[in-house]
Amino acid sequence: MSRPKKSPGPVYAFALTWLILSLMLPMYKLAGLAAVAVVSLAVGFFAGTLAKKRQAKFEPPQPEPVKEPEPAKSYGPTVDPIVADGKRAIGEMGRLYSSIQDPGVRQKINELMRITDKITQDAIADPSDVPQIKKFMNYYLPTTIKLLNSYDRMGSQGIEGDNLTKSMKSIEDMLDTAIAAYKKQLDSLFADQAMDIETDIQVMNQMLDREGLSGSRDFDVTAQPSMDDSAQISNENNLKG
């Protein structure tokens, strides 16, 4: 990139001022020479400032450097498509949320978005759930969005009719069913984790019982001493006597 040329105006202003003042003031005296120098420098500085402002006014603005977008974080070839589909679906539902004015339907859309995000995040947390999530992403989620788009188009017609009213009511009822299904889908993703947790708890309880650390028999004040324990206590009392 070539550097902008400096304007010769300040040099000319300095030289012209020096020439004029040198004819008016006694240059052979130190005071006269100092006055000429000071005034010439001031005029040259002022001319330079004006030249810079004039040049900046007519120069086209320099474009700012374009920042390259940071690459999206990868979770692996299996999980990445799920995350991408989830983001697209949530974005489309967000658009429909803004377009549809019915507050009840908007609330249902918001709930669908919330559950969809949790299902998407589960694919990141537990990639083994991806096969189960794929069916949700490939059918249930697109079908829900398709019906929401139909609801949005019918609502934007601005007219009332039996067919429109019936279809929109059916979609509203379907959203309740979809929310329940989405929640069930999310809950089913934790089935394996719940089974693992129960297994871990059972194993720990068995180990604690075996080591006598479970606390179930410790400090049992209601238990009666056995015959052997009674005999041992009696012998100890006789020895003390």
Count of other CB atoms within 10 angstroms of residue 84: 13
Span 71-109, pLDDT tens digits: 678 888 999 999 999 999 999 999 999 999 999 999 999
- The ranges assigned to domains in the chain are 9-58, 80-191
Say which CATH architecture domain 80-191 belongs to.
Up-down Bundle (1.20)
DSSP for 59-77, please give it. Answer: SPPPPPPPPPPPPPPP--T
Contact 205, 214 (CB under 8 A): yes
Count of other CB atoms within 10 angstroms of residue 99: 15
Residue type, 101: Q
50-54, 177-181, 208-212: lowest mean pLDDT where? 50-54
Count of other CB atoms within 10 angstroms of residue 205: 12
- Higher pLDDT: 31 or 237? It is 31
DSSP for 170-199, please give it. Answer: HHHHHHHHHHHHHHHHHHHTTHHHHHHHHH
pTM for the model stands at: 0.57
